[in-house]
Each structure stands twice: as C-alpha cells, then as structure tokens.
Amino acid sequence: MSKKRFLGAAIMVVLAMMLVLGGCSRPSATCTGCVESQGLSHMSGPLDLTDVATAAAPGLYFAGDSDTGLYSAAANQLGLATGGIVRLTLSSSGGVFGGSAFVIDVTGAISMDGDAASHFNTSVGDLTLEAETGSVIVKGDEAVVTAITLDANETVTTGLSILVGSVSGLSISGGLTDVGGGTGALANGDNDLLVAGDFEVDIDANIDGDLIVAGSGGMDISGGDITMENDETLSNDTNGIITATVDASGWFVISTGNLVVGTPATASLALNGLDAYVEGTLEADGLARLDGGVDVIGDLTISNGLFLPSFDDLTVNDGDWITPTTLTVYALDSGGAVTITLGACSNEGQFLYLIGDDANDIIINDTNVRTSDGNAVTINQWDIVAWVCQDVEWLELFTITNS
C-alpha cells in the first residue's frame, strides 16, 4: 500500500471516530462510569439510575450543583430538590410542596379547580392570605346555605380573630351572620346578625334594624344607655306584654301591656293593661300626668304641689244628675238656687271635689252620698266639698266654706 493510500485511510478512520464520539457521547476520561456528551445525544431506551438518591444527592443534577436536581423519592414518586431540600414530590395521588417557603410569582391569574374537598393546612405557624393591592375575596357557592365556613383551631383559646382597618371596620354585606348556630323558628333575612350566646358590646352598638332578644336571659345594660332616635318600637311579639315606642316628639309611649319596675311585693296587685308599677321610689322632677288612679302602698310625698288636671267648669240646673267617672274637680255654677244629685260611684277609692263658683246655693241631696250629719250638703260661692267613693256611695271627707 502506498503512503498516500495509508494516510487517506487513517484520516477516514479518525473522521469516523469523531462522528461517533465527538458528535454524540463517549466514556469520560475524568469520571469512572460516566459518559460525556459534547453535542446532541440520543437515547432509544430508558435511563436507569440504579444508585440510591436523596434530596441531598439527587440522581440527575447539573455539574457543580450536585444537591439540586431530580431523584426517585420512592416507588411511583418523583422528587425535585434544591439546595438539598425537597421542594416538590409528585406521586400517583398528586403533588406535595415542601421546604420552608413556597412562592407563586405570576403576572396573570392563578386558578385552582378541584372536584373534591380541598384544604390549606399549616401544622405550624399562620396561614396568611394577603393582597398588596385590592382585596382578598373568599367566595362560596351561592346555592349552598353555609357556603363559607371559618373554623378556628379548637386548641387555641383566642378562637377566630378577624382584624380589619381602624376606619372601615368589619363589613359583611348580604346574608346572615350566624354566631354559634341559630334558632330555627327565628326568621333571619339579609344583613342580620344572630348570636346564640351572649352579645357583649363594650362601647357603642348602632343598630339600624330590629334588635330581637329571643332567649330567656333578657337584655342587661350595665353602664350605658338605650338611645332611640326615631320612631322605634320596643315590643314582645310573643304575648304582647310590652309594646313601647319613642315617637317623633320624644315620648316613651307604652301602647299595650304594663310597665313594671322591680318585682311586685304585693301578689294581689292587679295590672290590667296600661298600668305602671314601681317597687321602689317613683320620682318625677317635672310634671307627672296621671289620667287614671294612683295606688300608693307606702308614703306619698309631694314637694311642689299636687295638680289635678281633670278640672271642669260645670253649669247645673235644678234636678240634674252628675255621675263622675274619673278623678275630677268640678267648679259648679247655676242660674239660681238648684238641687242636684250625685250618681252612684263605681271606682272605689276615687276622689271627687266640688267647688261653688257663684253666689247661688247648690244643694246636693242625700241620694248616693253619706255626709257627716246625714243631711243634704249646700255649696255656695268658694265652698269646697271633698268626696271619696266607697262601694257605690260618695263619702264626704271634708267641707271648706268660703275658701
């Protein structure tokens, strides 16, 4: 063989080796059992990594960073590690993120769609949903009654805390806010607050709608006030014992039932509707107007005078009958000397005052009356006769002449 032919053959062998080894892969000269590739390498079969790999030493990694890569965590599990710590484990049941933190940094929207119940669970620390701009919106299924449930850790004594800005406060728009489970018979509409236990307010509670106390505990106001600014009504819808209204003029009006302050010590006391009972002292610094009777079991102290509002000027004629039905003061006048009759009384304990208003004699005959001397009573100008009802008769208490 000539030298030229031998040199050409040698060049062809070298080129062939370069095509096989340099373009694809070749045994490494620096790593025992390693294969180096300087170009594109093709694999027609599986890559079988037989060494045991961990998050600290994954089976597939980049040169110079041997603790970051992929490894087989267990059967049917693929692990992704960075810095020797597992960050993501994919298995036949899904994926699990690991590490001390997991951040999703995207410019678009994040969507999660699941056909089964889903959980965000933190075994240590807090779960925080934070929006640097805008709002955090948690939206449940509108067709489900309890669409959103906030369940605090049962082992933490502070329970569920919702912290909002100092200006806007906590705003719940629409639906029912149910604390502790509601009463089925109580009708709850939109924007209602239902508290199964005690509702305690240390400062002010502004209620635009109705305040309904359905339990037997009542309402305790320890150191504040109940302020009714408009035509609000305080009522008992079950049996109608109390229906009270503050009208536009500022009157506290009880339209049905009775007003009882304290526990009645007298069991036989009859409250017949629109009555007021005070176990302690009833003090009126201004005008106390009483249209009905006054039953005083203890002492009655009047410091600035007693005014009887049912005052009537009455002109009588001879033979007239007068039948007072309420506590009444009559100023009597006539066209001359006349004789009148008092009708039988019906309100035992009722007082009646008759005053002579002119110079004519007005004789009250002895029918239905009981006088101090058993005779008829004559009233002249400025005379006053006081009576009280006993059974059906008017008993003369006293007579003041020419007062």
Domain range annotation of the chain: 53-95, 144-219, 311-400
CB under 8 Å to 393, separation ≥6 — which residues?
Answer: 344, 345, 368, 369, 370
**Are 232 and 245 in contact, with CB atoms under 8 Å apart?**
yes
Q: Is 3 helix (H, G, I), strand (E, B) or coil?
A: helix
- Distance separating alpha carbons of residues 179 and 330, to the nearest angstrom: 62
The fold for domain 311-400 equals: Jelly Rolls (2.60.120)
What's the confidence (pLDDT) of residue 13?
47
Give me 323's structure tokens: 């039948």
Distance CA 172, CA 148 (A): 13
Query: Which stretch of DSSP H or E encloses residue 375?
Result: none
For residues 24 and 41, the answer to whether their CB atoms sit within 8 Å is yes
CA neighbor of 67 nearest in space, from 51, 54, 86, 84: 84
What would the two tokens of residue 275 be? 């009555």
pTM of the model: 0.34
Q: What is the rounded CA–CA span in Å between residue 170 and residue 150?
A: 15
Which of 208, 178, 184 minimizes the C-alpha distance to 196? 178
Q: Look at residue 200 and give its three-state secondary structure.
A: coil
Would you say 33 and 27 are in contact if contact means Cβ atoms under 8 Å apart?
A: no
Q: Would you give per-residue pLDDT tens digits along the chain (403 residues)? A: 554 454 445 555 444 444 444 445 555 566 666 666 666 666 676 766 666 688 888 888 888 898 998 888 888 888 888 998 888 888 887 777 776 666 777 777 777 776 667 777 777 777 777 777 777 777 777 676 666 666 666 566 555 566 665 555 566 666 677 777 665 555 666 677 777 777 777 777 777 777 777 666 566 666 666 666 666 666 665 554 555 666 666 666 767 677 777 776 665 567 777 777 887 787 777 767 666 667 777 777 767 666 655 678 889 999 999 888 765 888 999 989 999 999 998 888 888 999 999 889 999 998 999 998 888 999 999 999 999 999 999 999 999 988 6
pLDDT at 22: 45
What confidence score (pLDDT) does residue 21 get? 45
pLDDT of 281 reads 80
Tell me which residue of 345, 349, 370 sits closest to 385, measured CA to CA. Answer: 370
Distance CA 368, CA 393 (A): 5
Q: Is the Cα torsion angle 44, 45, 50, 56 positive or negative in sign?
A: positive
